[in-house]
Amino acid sequence: MKMQKPVWMLMVALVAAFALAACGGGGGGASTTIEIASDGENLAYDKKEFTVPTGQTITLTFKNVSTAQQHNIVIVKGGEDVAAKVDEEAINAGPPDFLPADRTNIIAATKMLGPGGSETITFTAPAPGTYVFLCTYPAHYAGGMKGVMTVAP
């Protein structure tokens, strides 16, 4: 009888493993990878837009390919009005990160990256809609360093 308990526990573990595997195809745990970079020495990204599916885990890698400029990528919870607000908050927050401590309006953000730097961040894609992303280094958003993330249903 003493051997029965470990066998019973193994059966439970196997059933749990099969249940998890069955759920894997239904979207739970699915993920999407996005790669984006600065556009040379321009105040711009190499992508003006990208699309991700709602609810998925997004792994985003941002590379600052500039040899002189500092850049980041900050995805905000809304359009240009929210981006402008976050840009202002970032300037008030100051160096080195130019990022407000209050993340209420921010979905995800990298650190401020020096020339040649890169960072990978993960976040969950929000509700379907469009969300502006920008660089919060002073004057870069005003200079056009922005784009749109579309979240598909």
| Residues in touch with Cu ion (CB under 5 A) | 71, 135, 137, 140, 145
State the minimum distance, in angstroms, from the CB of residue 81 to Cu ion.
Answer: 20
Tokens at residue 77, please?
């919870």
Q: What count of other Cβ atoms lies within 10 Å of the Cβ of residue 42?
A: 13
State the minimum distance, in angstroms, from the CB of residue 24 to Cu ion.
Answer: 38
Nearest to Cu ion by Cβ — which residue?
135
Measured from the CB atom, is 60 or 135 closer to Cu ion? 135
- Beta pairing partners, 71: 113
State the minimum distance, in angstroms, from the CB of residue 113 to Cu ion.
Answer: 9
Measured from the CB atom, is 90 or 125 closer to Cu ion? 90
Measured from the CB atom, is 32 or 84 closer to Cu ion? 84
Tokens at residue 105, please?
């309006």
Measured from the CB atom, is 98 or 131 closer to Cu ion? 98
What string of DSSP letters covers 2-66?
A: TTHHHHHHHHHHHHHHHHHHHHHTTTTT-EEEEEEEB-TTSSSBS-SEEEEETT-EEEEEEE---
